[in-house]
């Protein structure tokens, strides 16, 4: 049973979170009456890695903010393989992403997907393209 807390009490004698108007009763927070707030996030400040390639090559680095999804967007009329690589040593070594030991974030067609969520400070991402033809337009961003 949920009970309202009446004014003029200067405190809320409940064992759970409650809220209310300044001059009104406090109401307990529960599934049917959630807190009237939402998490507010600022837009990501990490500059996107964007451009186009007409021949095989690497692009990067993309330096992500922590705890935000990383999106890869590929478009254009191209053929080949594009892969997102991750580095923890400033780009000296960049390795492909995997999930359960299988390739992850490897594409052979246009895509728009969240591929990673970084938690390690200093990690960077690089786009590796082996193009057989056409023009690839890419964007790695948060």
pLDDT digits (tens, 9 = 90+) for 34-93: 877 777 888 999 999 999 999 999 999 999 999 999 999 999 999 999 999 999 999 999
Total domains in the fold of the chain: 2
Binning the chain into helix, strand and coil, the percentages to the nearest 5 are 0, 50, 50
What distances in angstroms separate CA 2 from CA 23, 31, 35, 114, one per listed residue? 20, 11, 15, 41
Q: What is the mean pLDDT of the chain?
A: 89
Does 122 share its domain with 75?
Answer: yes
In a domain, 43, yes or no: no
Hey, CA dihedral for 119, 125, 131, 135, is it positive or negative? positive
Closest CA to 9 of 26, 29, 21, 28: 26
In a domain, 20, yes or no: yes
**What is the Cα–Cα distance from 87 to 124, expressed in whole angstroms?**
5
**pLDDT computed for residue 134 by the predictor:** 98
Domain of 117, CATH number, reads 2.60.120
Closest CA to 85 of 59, 50, 110: 59
Please give the residue that has the higher pLDDT: either 115 or 32: 115
> Which helix (H) or strand (E) is 72 found in, with range?
strand 69-87
Does 76 share its domain with 103?
Answer: yes
**What is the Cα–Cα distance from 66 to 54, expressed in whole angstroms?**
31
pLDDT-based confidence at residue 12 (cuts at 50, 70, 90): low
In a domain, 114, yes or no: yes
Check whether 27 has a pLDDT greater than 80: no
Does 65 share its domain with 30?
Answer: no
In a domain, 44, yes or no: no
Calculate the CA dihedral of residues 65, 136, 57, 90 and round it to 10 degrees.
0
pTM for the full predicted model: 0.74
Does 135 share its domain with 94?
Answer: yes
In a domain, 29, yes or no: yes
Does 85 share its domain with 33?
Answer: no
Question: What range defines the domain where residue 100 resides?
Answer: 49-141
């Amino acid at each position: 049973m949920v009970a309202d807390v009446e004014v003029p009490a200067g405190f809320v004698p409940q064992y759970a979170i409650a809220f209310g108007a300044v001059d009104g009763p406090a109401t307990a927070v529960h599934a049917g009456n959630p807190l009237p707030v939402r998490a507010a996030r600022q837009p990501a400040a990490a500059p996107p890695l964007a451009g186009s390639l007409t021949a095989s090559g690497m692009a990067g680095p993309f330096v992500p903010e922590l705890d935000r999804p990383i999106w890869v967007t590929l478009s254009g009329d191209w053929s080949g393989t594009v892969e997102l690589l991750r580095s923890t040593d400033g780009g000296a070594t960049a390795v492909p992403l995997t999930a359960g030991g299988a390739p992850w974030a490897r594409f052979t067609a246009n895509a728009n997907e969240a591929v990673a969520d970084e938690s390690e400070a200093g990690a960077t991402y690089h786009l590796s393209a082996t193009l057989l033809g056409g023009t690839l337009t890419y964007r790695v961003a948060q």
